Amino acid sequence: MATPPIAVTADAEELGFDASRLHRINRHFDSYVAEGKIPGYLVSVAREGEVVHVATGGYRDVARQLPVEADTLFRIYSMTKPITSVVLMTFFEEGRFKLSDPVEWYIPAFKDARVYAGGTPTSYTTVPAVEPVRIWHLLTHTAGLTYGFNYVHPCDAIYRNEGLEWGAKHGISLEEACDLWARLPLRFQPGSAWNYSVATDVCGRLCEIFGGASLPEVFAERILKPLGMHETSFVCEGDDLDRLADLYLATPSGGIVQAGPMAEWAKRPATAPSGGGGLISSAADYHRFTTMLLRGGSLNGVRILSPRTLDFMAANHLPGGVDLAEAEVDGFSESPYNGVGFGLGFAVTLNPLASKMFASAGDFYWGGMASTAFYVDPTEQLTVQFFTQVVPSSTYPIREELRQLVFQAITE
C-alpha cells in the first residue's frame, strides 16, 4: 500500500499565510538548484495539520534529468532519530524501563565503562566512569559516545580504527555493534556534556530488546503501520528504486558530485539497522509523523504517545538546564546552539533571541546528514519539512533560511 503523495489540503490564506510570500520559498531554493548547489528539493509547510504549501524543484537524479516529485523518496538519515526516540518512549509508557536505568541492565557490555583520559588513537589511557551510562544519557547524547565521522577528538579516530566511521559497519548485527561501542572509551563522563553520537543506535537496540523483534519489525508494529507510514523503511527495493533520489556530495567549489558507493547503502538491507540514521521516507510519510507530534502524540484517532510524555520529551534535558552552546564539546553544528537545548530525541528552542533564529520558544526539530530538516512549532501550530540529498548537512544554512522564509509568510 502506498501513501498518497504530499499535497496541499487547505487554503493558505484561511490559515493565516500570505500565499504570495510562501512562493518566496520556491524562488529561494530554485536559485540553489540553478547555481548547482543542490540537485533538487521538496518543501512542505503545514498549519494545524493541514498542508498549505508544497514546493518542488530540480532533480532527484541529475544524470537522468528525473525531477523531484511529490512522491520522491529520500534518505532521511538522522531524521530517523526522533522516530527511534518515540518508539523507545512507547516502551517507557508501558513501564518497561526508567530513564535513570543503567544501560548495562539491558546491554551487559556497558558494565564497567571507561572514559578516555589521554594519549593517541592507538595508544591511550582511560579512567573508570564515575556513574553508569543511563538510558536518558542515550536519548540526550550525553552518554559520552561519539561518531567516527566527527574528526575532532581521538575517540572519533578510535571509532574509525574499528571500522565504525558511519555507525555500525556492514556485516555485524546491531547487538554486536552495541557491544563494540560499549567496549570503546567514552569521550567524557556520562551526563557531563553533549556530543552527537551513535547513542540513538543504542536506543534502537533497546527497542529490539523490549520489543522482542528486529528494529524494522518493532518500527512497523509501534509506529509505521499505526500511522500509515507505508513508504518508510530501512531499505529501498524493487519499483521504489526509481523514486529514490540520488545522493550527492558537496564540493569545495560550491557544486555537487554523485556520491558513488555511499548512495548504494540505502539499496541493500543493513545487517545492523540504524535507529540513528537508517530510514528512507517520503514527505507524505514524515508529515504524518510530525503531525502526530504536533497533535500531542495522536493522529486520526491513533495514539502513539501521551501528550504528557511528548511534552516531557520536548523539554530541555541537558544537565543543569544549560543550552547546547554550553554543553557541547565537539563543535558539531548545523544551526545555532545559543538558546537551544536538547530533549529526549530532538533539539528544543529555549530562547529565540539568543539563537538569533526565527523560531518560537518550545519548538523542536532535527535534520539529517543529506541536508534534510524538519521542525514542529506548537505555538504557531506549524510543521515544516525540507528534503534534498546533499552531504554534509552543514554545507548551507538551509535550516535557518527555511524558518525565515516560513515565518515571513505568516500574517496571523
Residue that finishes a domain, picked among 193, 211, 229: 211
Average pLDDT over every residue of 348-352: 96
Segment 110-142, tens digit of pLDDT = 999 999 999 999 999 999 999 999 999 999 999
Structure confidence at residue 332 as a pLDDT band (50, 70, 90): low
Mean residue pLDDT across the chain: 96
Residue with cell 578516555: 116
Report the pLDDT value the prediction gives residue 2, as an integer from 0 to 100. Answer: 78
Segment 33-59, tens digit of pLDDT = 999 999 999 999 999 999 999 999 999
Structure confidence at residue 334 as a pLDDT band (50, 70, 90): low
Residues 248 and 318 in one domain: yes
Structure confidence at residue 335 as a pLDDT band (50, 70, 90): low
In a domain, 412, yes or no: no
Residues 156 and 290 in one domain: no
Report the pLDDT value the prediction gives residue 168, as an integer from 0 to 100. Answer: 93
Which CATH number covers residue 137? 1.20.58
Residues 131 and 231 in one domain: no
Residues 6+ apart with CB under 8 A from 394: 333, 334
Segment 355-375, tens digit of pLDDT = 898 999 999 999 999 999 999
Segment 62-107, tens digit of pLDDT = 999 999 999 999 999 999 999 999 999 999 999 999 999 999 999 9
Residues 139 and 167 in one domain: yes
Segment 288-320, tens digit of pLDDT = 999 999 999 999 999 999 999 999 999 999 999
In a domain, 92, yes or no: no
For residue 160, the enclosing domain spans: 98-211
Report the pLDDT value the prediction gives residue 51, as an integer from 0 to 100. Answer: 98
Residue that finishes a domain, picked among 179, 196, 211: 211
In a domain, 339, yes or no: yes
Average pLDDT over every residue of 160-169: 93
Residues 53 and 199 in one domain: no
Residues 136 and 188 in one domain: yes
**SS3 readout for the chain:** CCCCCCCCCCCCHHHCECHHHHHHHHHHHHHHHHCCCCCEEEEEEEECCEEEEEEEEEEEECCCCEECCCCCEEECHHHHHHHHHHHHHHHHHCCCCCCCCEHHHCCHHHCCCEEEEEECCCCEEEEECCCCCEHHHHHHCCCCCCCHHHCCCHHHHHHHHCCCCCCCCCCCCHHHHHHHHHHCCECCCCCCCECCCCHHHHHHHHHHHHHCCCHHHHHHHHHHHHHCCCCCECCCCHHHHHHECCCEEECCCCCEEECHHHHHHHHCCCCCCCCCCCCEEEHHHHHHHHHHHHCCCEECCEECCCHHHHHHHCCCCCHHHCCHHHHECCCCCCCCCCCEEECCCCEEECCHHHHCCCCCCCCEEEECCCCCEEEEECCCCEEEEEECCEECCCCCCHHHHHHHHHHCCECC
* C-alpha cell read off for 298: 495522536
Average pLDDT over every residue of 184-204: 97
In a domain, 6, yes or no: no
Residues 305 and 267 in one domain: yes
Residues 64 and 140 in one domain: no
Residues 252 and 335 in one domain: yes
Residues 27 and 66 in one domain: yes
Count structural domains, the chain. 2
In a domain, 29, yes or no: yes
For residue 348, pLDDT beyond 90: yes
Report the pLDDT value the prediction gives residue 3, as an integer from 0 to 100. Answer: 83
Residues 198 and 106 in one domain: yes
In a domain, 91, yes or no: no
Residues 260 and 206 in one domain: no
In this prediction, what percent of the chain has a pLDDT beyond 90? 95
- pTM given for the model: 0.97
In a domain, 79, yes or no: yes
Residue that finishes a domain, picked among 164, 184, 211: 211
In a domain, 93, yes or no: no
Average pLDDT over every residue of 282-289: 98
